[in-house]
A = this chain, B = another copy of it.
């Protein structure tokens, strides 16, 4: 069993706001992240897959293919977008690092399942000091 990881990037705007909360409560819980006019980040996503390397090619799976799947199903939908407004698979989901990480996992799972390896981990880095990891359960 070998694990391989591919890193990709996207830059996006978002805000953390509960519509039915007062501005004060939103500020208390979400702090600066509740700014009504949005803010944004450079996000780095690490996708780890696992399985047996092919005896002939020595590839678990071609990383070009992993990269294409991440780009098609995640980066193209999120890069230079507003996560709250523009991203179909984030509809009605509070865009915390935790929730975006889980949503990226759900977005990639069926596509990774259809190739020669298993999705192991999605790690999402939001700032230099913060990241989330999800292993699917």
Contact surface of A with B, Cβ cutoff 8 Å: 1-9, 11-14, 16, 18, 29-33, 35, 37-42, 48, 53, 56-60, 62-64, 67, 79-82, 85-86, 93-99, 101-102, 127-135, 137
Given contacts A9-B127, A35-B80, A63-B130, contact A98 B40 (CB under 8 A): no
B56 touches A3 (CB 8 A): no
Bound: A130/B112 CA distance, A: 17
In the complex, residue of chain B having the shortest beta-carbon distance to the beta carbon of A8 = B129
Give the oligomeric copy count.
6
Bound: A130/B59 CA distance, A: 13
In the complex, residue of chain B having the shortest beta-carbon distance to the beta carbon of A134 = B2
In the complex, residue of chain B having the shortest beta-carbon distance to the beta carbon of A101 = B2
- The one of B1, B30, B39, B135 that contacts A13, using a Cβ cutoff of 8 Å: B39
A37 touches B13 (CB 8 A): yes
A sample of 14 inter-chain contacts (CB < 8 A) reads A3-B133, A4-B97, A4-B130, A5-B131, A6-B130, A11-B39, A16-B58, A37-B85, A53-B102, A58-B99, A60-B98, A60-B132, A63-B130, A67-B129
